[in-house]
């Protein structure tokens, strides 16, 4: 079994599933008002490695990524403009439920495309907040009945003062109420948060016992995770920015209403930074996968770059770092593509090393180091190397199995090109290189040899 760092305890713990050989995972999903930036996507590559590690260990995984298609307030501090409203204005869409749906449809699809392009296994459920309104309202009602909610002019709020241990995830420091400014809306404590947001002038929103409005952002996750995975479920993940507010609020609501933990393990990925600063949409400067492709990089080179850092350390993005990652990734592909595919068996010593890395809180940089060590080991048969690396790739997800062996036609073309190069007929050799490229084969020339590497579709479409 593998071990994971649990933000709840602050310790790395052995993972014990609630139900035998199964594991339920919930990953906080995007607000679908814009394209995901490359920082957001780290959260889902991390979740994918977690899933693949569990599956590699023989567990049956059920994964949920929610789609926030309504009222997610602009900052984690529950203030500012609504992100979806911002999106509507940007796209010139009407401020109506139909407009919201159009916006959500577009960016939900873009998000799902990004996951595929990064070779992230498709989660089993992508619930939308608007599909669970009934249950979201019921949860708020339950909190009201149990005395955890109070009403203000603009919504129903959760009373954090009613909980002894509010904020225990990540160890929030106690609030000094005498110094903290109580929110202008009349909240009892600045940490109280909205459960149901009432819409101004009853314009945009959904009917509820309190009037037209929207579920609070936190209530969505509490509701959908319970509905799809049960409560408690096994593992809840998200970026570290979600620890102080969003996840503490999910815990507060879910535990206050049902007197049982929400999830047993909470895992958080660190940020992708740009020049040391967190990449954030609100800050204006961010890159998407489209930018990566437009600059001629393979999206899987970005996946490789992410795997070079442990998920709990920040990773600084630069085009130079991506280029270095792409070169290493290409070398890896090239190595695997030139290995014979028959009769290989997994090398158990290397597998043990690989497992130690990946099952020790998903240490992907160490796992990649094991791959490179294996590649350089002259005592291992090439067919065994290939088989072992393809086995590891079930976890790494670098699509190495899709590498094809060159057909007789390709081998013949390469031979012809080698002869042309030997004769210094560079026009002919360039012609053959282009022909190979059209057939999805790249060449790497060194002084004394030429190697072929297979170009995956994503690279080919750049």
Query: Which residues of the shown chain bind Zn ion in the complex (CB under 5 A)?
Result: 28, 221
Measured from the CB atom, is 129 or 221 closer to Zn ion?
A: 221
- Residue 92 DSSP SS3: coil
To ligand AMP, the closest distance from the beta carbon of 207 in angstroms equals: 26
Site residues (CB under 6 A) for ligand AMP? 28, 30-31, 39-40, 42-43, 238-239, 241-242, 269, 271-272, 278-280
And the tokens for 129?
A: 């907040």
Which one of Zn ion, ligand AMP, none is in contact with 272 (Cβ closer than 5 to 8 A by kind)? ligand AMP
Which one of Zn ion, ligand AMP, none is in contact with 42 (Cβ closer than 5 to 8 A by kind)? ligand AMP
CA distances (Å), 415 to each of 134, 209, 411, in order? 67, 76, 6
CB within 8 Å of 21: residues ≥ 6 apart:
58, 59, 60
b/e burial code for range 227-256 (CB count within 10 A of at least 16 → b): bbbebbbbbbbbbbbbbbbbbbbbbbbbbb
Measured from the CB atom, is 123 or 442 closer to ligand AMP?
A: 123
Which one of ligand AMP, Zn ion, none is in contact with 397 (Cβ closer than 5 to 8 A by kind)? none
Which one of Zn ion, ligand AMP, none is in contact with 30 (Cβ closer than 5 to 8 A by kind)? ligand AMP
Which one of ligand AMP, Zn ion, none is in contact with 106 (Cβ closer than 5 to 8 A by kind)? none
Question: Does an H or E element contain 215, and which?
Answer: strand 213-215
Of 171, 68, 62, 179, residue with least CA distance to 124: 62
Of 270, 268, 272, residue with least CA distance to 235: 268
Measured from the CB atom, is 33 or 166 closer to ligand AMP?
A: 33
CB 2 within 8 A of CB 11: no
To Zn ion, the closest distance from the beta carbon of 190 in angstroms equals: 21
To ligand AMP, the closest distance from the beta carbon of 107 in angstroms equals: 10
Measured from the CB atom, is 232 or 239 closer to ligand AMP?
A: 239
To ligand AMP, the closest distance from the beta carbon of 244 in angstroms equals: 11
CA distances (Å), 142 to each of 134, 187, 198, 259, 340, in order? 12, 20, 18, 12, 62
To ligand AMP, the closest distance from the beta carbon of 34 in angstroms equals: 9
To Zn ion, the closest distance from the beta carbon of 29 in angstroms equals: 7
Measured from the CB atom, is 39 or 299 closer to ligand AMP?
A: 39
Distance CA 309, CA 362 (A): 10
DSSP of 184-206, one letter per residue? TT--SSTT-EEEEEEPGGG-SSB
Which one of Zn ion, ligand AMP, none is in contact with 271 (Cβ closer than 5 to 8 A by kind)? ligand AMP
CB within 8 Å of 82: residues ≥ 6 apart:
71, 72, 73, 74
Which one of ligand AMP, Zn ion, none is in contact with 43 (Cβ closer than 5 to 8 A by kind)? ligand AMP
Measured from the CB atom, is 241 or 384 closer to ligand AMP?
A: 241
CA distances (Å), 282 to each of 35, 93, 236, 266, in order? 12, 20, 25, 26
Measured from the CB atom, is 273 or 399 closer to ligand AMP?
A: 273
To Zn ion, the closest distance from the beta carbon of 246 in angstroms equals: 6
Distance CA 420, CA 17 (A): 60
Which one of ligand AMP, Zn ion, none is in contact with 330 (Cβ closer than 5 to 8 A by kind)? none
Query: What 8-state DSSP symbol labels residue 246?
Result: I
Measured from the CB atom, is 183 or 239 closer to ligand AMP?
A: 239
To Zn ion, the closest distance from the beta carbon of 59 in angstroms equals: 23
């Amino acid at each position: 079994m593998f071990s994971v760092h649990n933000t709840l305890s602050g310790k790395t713990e052995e993972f014990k599933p609630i139900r035998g050989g199964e594991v339920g995972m919930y990953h906080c999903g995007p607000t679908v008002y814009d394209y995901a930036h490359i920082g957001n996507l780290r959260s889902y590559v991390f979740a994918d490695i977690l899933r693949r590690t569990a599956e590699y260990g023989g567990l049956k995984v059920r994964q949920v990524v929610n789609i926030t298609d309504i009222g997610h307030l602009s900052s984690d501090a529950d203030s500012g403009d609504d992100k979806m409203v911002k999106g509507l204005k940007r796209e010139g869409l009407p401020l109506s439920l139909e407009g919201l749906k159009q916006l959500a449809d577009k960016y939900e699809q873009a998000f799902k495309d990004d996951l595929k392009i990064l070779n992230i296994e498709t989660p089993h459920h992508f619930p939308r907040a608007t599909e669970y309104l009934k249950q979201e309202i019921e949860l708020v009602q339950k909190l009201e009945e149990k005395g955890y909610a109070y009403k203000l002019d603009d919504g129903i709020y959760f009373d954090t003062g009613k909980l002894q241990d509010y904020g225990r995830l990540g160890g929030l420091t106690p609030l000094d109420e005498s110094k903290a400014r109580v929110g202008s809306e009349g909240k009892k404590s600045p940490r109280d948060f909205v459960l149901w947001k009432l819409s101004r002038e009853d314009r945009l929103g959904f009917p509820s016992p309190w009037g037209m409005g929207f579920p609070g952002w936190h209530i969505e996750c509490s509701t959908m995770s319970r509905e799809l995975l049960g409560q408690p479920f096994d593992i809840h993940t998200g970026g570290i920015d979600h620890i102080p507010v969003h996840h503490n609020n999910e815990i507060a609501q879910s535990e206050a209403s049902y007197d049982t933990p929400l999830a047993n393990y909470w895992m958080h990925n660190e940020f992708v930074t740009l020049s040391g600063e967190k990449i954030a949409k609100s800050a204006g400067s961010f890159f998407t996968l489209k930018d990566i492709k437009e600059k001629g990089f393979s999206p899987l080179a970005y996946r490789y770059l992410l795997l070079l850092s442990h998920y709990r350390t920040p990773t600084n993005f630069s085009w130079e770092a991506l280029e270095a990652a792409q070169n290493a990734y290409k070398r890896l592909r090239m190595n695997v593509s030139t290995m014979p595919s028959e009769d290989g068996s997994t090398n158990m010593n290397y597998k043990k090393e690989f497992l130690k890395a990946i099952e020790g809180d998903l240490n992907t940089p160490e796992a990649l180091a094991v791959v490179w060590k294996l590649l350089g080991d002259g005592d291992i048969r090439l067919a065994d190397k290939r088989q072992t690396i393809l086995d590891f790739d079930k976890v790494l997800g670098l699509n190495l199995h899709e590498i094809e062996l060159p057909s007789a036609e390709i081998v013949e073309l390469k031979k012809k090109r080698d002869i042309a190069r030997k004769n210094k007929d560079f026009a002919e050799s360039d012609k053959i290189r282009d022909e190979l490229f059209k057939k999805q084969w790249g060449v790497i020339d060194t002084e004394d040899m030429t190697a072929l590497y297979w170009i995956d579709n994503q690279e080919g479409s750049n």
